[in-house]
């Protein structure tokens, strides 16, 4: 039986996710599970320095200028939108201690239909990792192709960077963004 209490015996606090990064030109929506502790603290998607998300996207579009270590989050967000990418999470809120998906409890799923109406050019949805993909049944109701991507999280050490990159490049190409 899973214990839903922190080490000091108190229940984990309710956490609220980040707003989506989308525009009317978003063609591929990347859905994570829920922001890490580092991402919530910085109020930025994929803020953990060991997460491969930004490195993978920079490798997919190597000729486009983006210094992922120096550019502001606002610039990185615009860079995503300029390429037709959107980012959000499957969970709007949850209880969790730490950053692992296995620690997520009492999660509330985001409203994907509402988001899709804000993105009239949306062509596909890609789930970043297994926890996110568990909710593909909800995103599939939008009538769009739904893909499972290997997690960019540092916890996904069984996939090399090169293997993750190849899988991500294939989905980005299938969505017509290359």
Q: Which residues are catalytic?
A: 51
| DSSP β-bridge partners for residue 85 | 28
Q: Which of 176, 18, 171 is nearest to 92 (CA)?
A: 18
Nearest to 40 by CA among 14, 70, 58: 14
Count CB neighbours of 122 within 10 A. 22
Asked if 78 contacts 2 with a C-beta cutoff of 8 angstroms, the reply is no
Cα(first)–Cα(last) distance of the chain, in Å?
46
Q: Each residue of 51-80: b (16+ CB within 10 Å) or e?
A: bbbbbbbbebbeeeebeeeeeeeeebbebb
């Amino acid at each position: 039986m899973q214990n839903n209490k922190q080490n000091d015996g108190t229940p984990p606090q309710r956490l609220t996710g980040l707003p989506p990064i989308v525009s009317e030109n978003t063609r591929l929506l990347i859905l994570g599970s829920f922001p890490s502790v580092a991402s919530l603290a910085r109020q930025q998607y994929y803020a953990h320095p060991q997460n491969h998300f930004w490195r993978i996207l920079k490798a997919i579009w190597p000729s486009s200028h983006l210094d992922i270590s120096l550019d502001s989050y606002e610039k990185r967000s615009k860079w995503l939108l300029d390429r037709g990418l959107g980012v959000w999470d499957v969970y709007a809120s949850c209880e969790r201690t730490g950053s692992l998906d296995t620690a997520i409890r009492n999660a509330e799923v985001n409203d994907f239909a509402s988001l899709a109406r804000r993105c009239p050019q949306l062509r596909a949805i890609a789930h970043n990792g297994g926890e996110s993909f568990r909710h593909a049944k909800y995103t599939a109701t939008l009538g769009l192709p739904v893909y499972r991507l290997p997690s960019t999280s540092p916890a996904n050490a069984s996939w090399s960077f090169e293997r993750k990159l190849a899988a991500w490049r294939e989905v980005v190409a299938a969505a017509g963004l290359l």
